[in-house]
Chain A
Amino acid sequence: MITGTGITKTFKQRGDVLGGRDVRALRGIDFAIEKGGAVSFIGESGCGKTTLGRIIAGLESWDSGEIVIDGTPMSSLRPRRRQPYFRKIQLIHQDPYSALNPTRTIYQTLQAPLALRARQAGRPKSWIGERAEELLSLVGIDPGYVLGRYPHQLSGGMRQRVVIARALTVDPEMLVADESVSMIDVSMRLSILALLKDLRERLGVSVLFITHDIATARYIGAEGELYVLYRGQVVERGLTESIITGPVHPYTQSLLSAIPVLHGLEQPGPERVVPTEALDERHADEGCLFARRCPFRTERCEKERPALVRGVEVAHERACFHPQRRSVIPVEAVA
């Protein structure tokens, strides 16, 4: 169980002598991920979803807020002591090409963390080789084929499986999949997604899925939770099904409106929401962050920041003063 409260992160951009502009990547985010759960973060580029994923995986520091892993608050530990906790959370990189060291064979790649593990648990050396094979079989590749090979001899999909196997060497409680299928051949995507789903069901590993693609978010955990992020804030949160079928925040609605339509078979939702302006990080930090782009904004939106609260119209939380259900997802075309 991993929870976070009020996580903020600001990147200082180096400008000239007079100082640079700060980028507020996260503005106080709360999250909770159950053991064995499936959670997705969605949002457009620059919304902070990747930063949040990296913070959760322990690869990035955060400015304020608290992360609690299995009951231990991380702020009470010195950075060095946090490592064993964050090791339970493994990040699966977006790019399977740079995630594996090109100068090391797959066996060497798996052997290093397994050797560490064996030393800690006092297991014999023979366990390392056996475990490496076991893990590769688990992710669906033939150990005999890949163990002695270098990453460049494998396909993108196989590499991503090896990356997943490597993450599993430390028996993680959670996998953070950051756009993990976006760089893989479309034909291989589904099988990797199926693998993640399968690992979740079989090993009870929770999966945090970071994506901009709603369809993949839905595939990985229909019964899971979905967080919609916008400019470092959660604007809508709830069960994946509930949000996809009944989005009430105009930003979520604009995201769902952007799903490409299969012409002839489908047609755009009748109440599609299109932002009035393009995203601009220089937009005012005052009021609702989406206000400048929102077609439904009122004066109140520009002055006050709406809180993330449970709605009356739907069964999930949203941060909007004027939530309203709209039919935005593509619907079947009537013949």
Chain B
Amino acid sequence: MTVTTILPGSPGNTGATLRRNFWRGVGRVLRRKPSRIAGVGIVALFGAMALFGPMLYPAHLPRDNNALYAAPSLAHPFGTDFEGTDVLALVVTGSRYVILTGLATAVITVALGTALGLLAGFHRGRWDTVLMRITDMQLTIPGLPLLLVLSTIWKFQGPLEMGLVLGLLGWGGVARAVRSQTLSLRERGFIEAARGLGLSTRHIVGRELLPSMAPYIAMNVLIAVTGAIYAQVGLFFLGVLPFDSNNWGVMLNLAVFGGGALTSTAALPYLLAPLLAILLLTLGIVLIVDAMDEIFNPRLREE
């Protein structure tokens, strides 16, 4: 056990010590399985791609009219597209949109779902009834048809708008699950004790309830990211959304419907590159999800 003993009379120190212990524990949990390290590596790679990728290339990617649908080569590891642009460059520059949408969706889904689930589960009664009916309504909204309709009147300008819409369509499940967890946790002795000691509702919800649900919430964030990536790539692939920006879904669409990637081999690398990117990113996230329970549970975190 490596839990450091807290020095007497230094409560100011304790917060920092605990935080340091937490991160040390996270490192330990991740190092426990090679798959987790691989997951972290993959996700970090894509994160860096989204952050710095677009800076590596000029705003308008160079075209080469002599190399349309060129086969993979050293200069173009994944070949080129219909106008001779490097596919790898397209994947790298397109990652920002995809990942930003994924993050925005996850943040909205989980923040909304957790907040409403906690509110409904903790206060019960009238709040619960009203919020859960709203949740039921949200759950019955068919996402794809709505997006199809929405896209006719609203041109999703940026990734954040896209994320907002996807997020607003996806919080229902999280809200229900968080509510049920809250209902079971609020009956536990330590919540009752906190109430008996006169601690504020803010403290009880934020410090006593939320940490117990942290693994679940963290898992949902990650899964929501993958869900959002699939959803938006699918929309772009179907050609529902106008593509004035470059991203993976647009690439898939152009490869299949423009390059005939399903019938001829010429555009195959153009199709496979974004698919591979999506696959890898999802794999990376799934590998990390596995560690969430151990990270947030102090009992599993230690050695």
Contact = CB atoms under 8 A, between A and B. Distances in A.
Contacts, number: 107
A93 B195 CA distance: 13
Nearest to B198: A87
B284 to A, nearest CB: 27
B14 A112 contact: no
Interface in B282-303: 296-299
A113 B197 contact: yes
Interface string A152-174: 11000000000100110110000
B187 to A, nearest CB: 9
B58 interface: no
A112 B207 contact: yes
A254 B229 CA distance: 69
B10 interface: yes
B8 A112 contact: no
Of B6, B188, B208, B296, most A-chain CB atoms within 10 Å: B6
B5 A166 contact: no
Interface residues of A, number: 45
B52 interface: no
Nearest to B192: A59
A100 interface: yes
Contact of A107 (B1, B14, B195, B298): B14
Interface stretch (A141-149, A274-282, A322-330): A141-149
* Interface size of B as a range: 20 to 34
B18 interface: yes
A84 B198 contact: yes
Contacts of B6: 107, 144, 147-148
A82 to B, nearest CB: 11
Interface string A104-115: 110110011100
A163 B296 CA distance: 23
Contact of B18 (A86, A91, A105): A105
Contact of A103 (B10, B203, B212): B212
A311 interface: no
Interface string B182-216: 00000011101111111100010001100110100
B125 interface: no
Contacts of B11: 107, 111, 125-126, 128-129
A97 to B, nearest CB: 8
A130 B18 CA distance: 19
Contact of A98 (B189, B214, B296, B297): B189
Contact of B3 (A90, A111, A112, A149): A149
B8 A144 contact: yes
Of B4, B8, B14, B193, most A-chain CB atoms within 10 Å: B193
Contacts of A95: 189
A166 B190 CA distance: 11
Contacts of B192: 59, 91, 93
Contacts of B142: none
A2 B296 CA distance: 43
A128 B12 CA distance: 10
Contacts of A125: 11-12
B34 interface: no
A126 B9 contact: yes
Contacts of B197: 87, 90, 112-113, 116, 166-167, 169-170
A133 interface: yes
Contacts of A57: 196
Given A99-B189, A144-B8, A59 B3 contact: no
B199 A102 contact: no
A102 B196 contact: no
A150 B301 CA distance: 11
A126 B194 CA distance: 22
A40 B194 CA distance: 25
A182 interface: no
A128 B192 CA distance: 22
B55 to A, nearest CB: 40
B298 A103 contact: yes
20 contacts: A59-B196, A84-B198, A90-B196, A91-B192, A93-B193, A99-B189, A102-B297, A102-B298, A102-B299, A107-B14, A111-B11, A111-B14, A125-B12, A144-B5, A148-B17, A150-B3, A152-B299, A153-B1, A163-B193, A170-B198
Given A57-B196, A103-B212, A129-B11, 8 more contacts: A86-B196, A101-B212, A102-B212, A112-B207, A113-B197, A144-B6, A167-B193, A170-B197
Interface of B: 1, 3-6, 8-12, 14, 17-18, 188-190, 192-199, 203, 207-208, 211-212, 214, 296-299
